[in-house]
């Protein structure tokens, strides 16, 4: 049996879908699982021990260049690659019109949420099979329930298994114990005040952990340098997702905003604290096998004392 998972973006959403594959393969170890994902995040499903082939989609680029002939040629090539296999089932875990559209390009019946379970109900018209999954559930649980419903097994009660295995991209190493800080986000609404980051970094440094500050853009690079200078921290060069995963996996602690790397750190089993300033963590909070905490919420910027208190509790227990 061959199953295609469609979960294209963003990084945290792709991470949230991984346990559903682990559940499926625990029930049917003989199933071959492939995955459609945005090119920038292709290394994440590739790290899952049960994913056979990753189809890297470049929709984020293509949609901005639809007037170019090269774009249509690339989309036709991607569709041809997707159709090299016959799939017994294609499961759209994204639940958007764009993901449903690309799911329909594969050979095989397309399954997804029912209309009432979707943020974009129009996507349901693309599906041949539908399942009701409450929108009030967390992201990881929704993915696990949808795959279980379409593959006809009971939703496992065991904790989420992200199934990650590292390919050891040791492009950058840190001597001694360290903590990773992720103070940059894709939207300014997600940011936490810089002076509070400095206190957190200095607190961790006082505990003997070298602060390692991640960044993802030129503006974030300057922010990272300023933060590192305040605490004798380190700033890595630009890291690919796979390289960043290798650094995260060896960290003693990770403190980040509501970003994909924070969710990846938790999935890798690292103690992780996520700071939410523009989103409710109830539906997309951190999930992991180690100590994880999500603090803040929609227009609820966490106080510095709240963050320091949680870190103190963890360090005392550790």
pLDDT at 167 over 80: no
pLDDT at 185 over 90: no
Average pLDDT, the chain: 95
Average pLDDT over residues 79-95: 97
pLDDT at 169 over 70: no
Angle at alpha carbon of residue 41, lines to 293 and 285, rounded to 5° = 20
Residue 170 burial (CB count, 10 A): 10
pLDDT tens across 186-216, in order?
A: 888 899 999 999 999 999 999 999 999 999 9
Contact at 8 Å (CB) between 14 and 41? yes
The reported pLDDT for the residue numbered 166 is 87
The reported pLDDT for the residue numbered 175 is 86
The reported pLDDT for the residue numbered 318 is 85
| Confidence band, pLDDT 50/70/90 cuts, at residue 179 | very high
CA distances from 4 to 1, 20, 44, 100, 276 (A): 10, 12, 15, 12, 32
The reported pLDDT for the residue numbered 21 is 98
Average pLDDT over residues 231-254: 95
Rama region for 296: left / alpha / beta (φ>0; ψ in -120 to 50; rest): left
pLDDT at 100 over 90: yes
pTM, to two decimals: 0.96
pLDDT at 171 over 70: no
pLDDT tens across 112-164, in order?
A: 999 999 999 999 999 999 999 999 999 999 999 999 999 999 999 999 999 99
Provide the token pair at 106: 């594969």
What CA–CA distance (Å, rounded) separates 223 from 229?
10
Average pLDDT over residues 225-239: 96
The reported pLDDT for the residue numbered 63 is 96
In sequence order, which residues have a C-beta less than 8 Å from that of residue 105 and are 6 or more positions away? 78, 79, 82, 83
pLDDT at 49 over 80: yes
pLDDT tens across 12-39, in order?
A: 999 999 999 999 999 999 999 999 999 9
The reported pLDDT for the residue numbered 226 is 97
% of the chain exceeding 90 in pLDDT: 92
């Amino acid at each position: 049996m061959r199953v295609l998972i469609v979960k294209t973006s963003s990084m945290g959403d792709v991470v949230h879908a991984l346990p559903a594959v682990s559940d499926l393969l625990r029930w049917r170890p003989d199933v071959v699982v492939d995955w459609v994902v945005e090119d920038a995040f292709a290394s994440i499903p590739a790290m899952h021990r049960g994913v056979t082939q990753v189809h890297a989609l470049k929709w984020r680029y293509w949609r901005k260049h639809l007037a170019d002939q090269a774009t249509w040629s690339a989309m036709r090539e991607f569709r041809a690659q997707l159709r090299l296999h016959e799939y017994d089932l294609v499961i759209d875990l994204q639940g958007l019109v764009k993901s449903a559209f690309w799911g329909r390009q594969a050979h095989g019946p397309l399954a997804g949420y029912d209309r009432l379970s979707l943020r974009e109900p129009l996507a349901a018209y693309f599906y041949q099979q539908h399942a009701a999954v409450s929108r009030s559930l967390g992201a990881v649980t929704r993915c696990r329930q949808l795959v279980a419903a379409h593959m006809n097994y009971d939703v496992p009660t065991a904790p989420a298994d992200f199934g990650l295995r590292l390919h050891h991209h040791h492009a950058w190493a840190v001597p001694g114990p360290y903590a990773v800080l992720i103070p940059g986000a894709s939207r300014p609404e997600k940011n936490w005040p810089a002076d509070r980051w400095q206190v957190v970094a200095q607190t961790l440094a006082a505990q003997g952990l070298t602060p390692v500050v991640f960044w993802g853009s030129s503006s974030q690079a300057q922010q990272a340098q300023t933060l590192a200078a305040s605490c004798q921290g380190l700033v890595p060069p630009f890291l690919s997702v796979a390289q960043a995963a290798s650094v995260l996996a060896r960290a003693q602690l990770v403190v980040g905003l509501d970003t994909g790397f924070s969710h990846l750190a938790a999935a890798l089993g690292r103690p992780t604290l996520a700071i939410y300033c523009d989103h409710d963590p109830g539906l997309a909070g951190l999930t992991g096998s180690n100590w994880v905490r999500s603090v803040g919420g929609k227009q609820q910027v966490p106080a510095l004392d709240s963050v320091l208190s949680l870190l103190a509790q963890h360090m005392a227990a550790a």
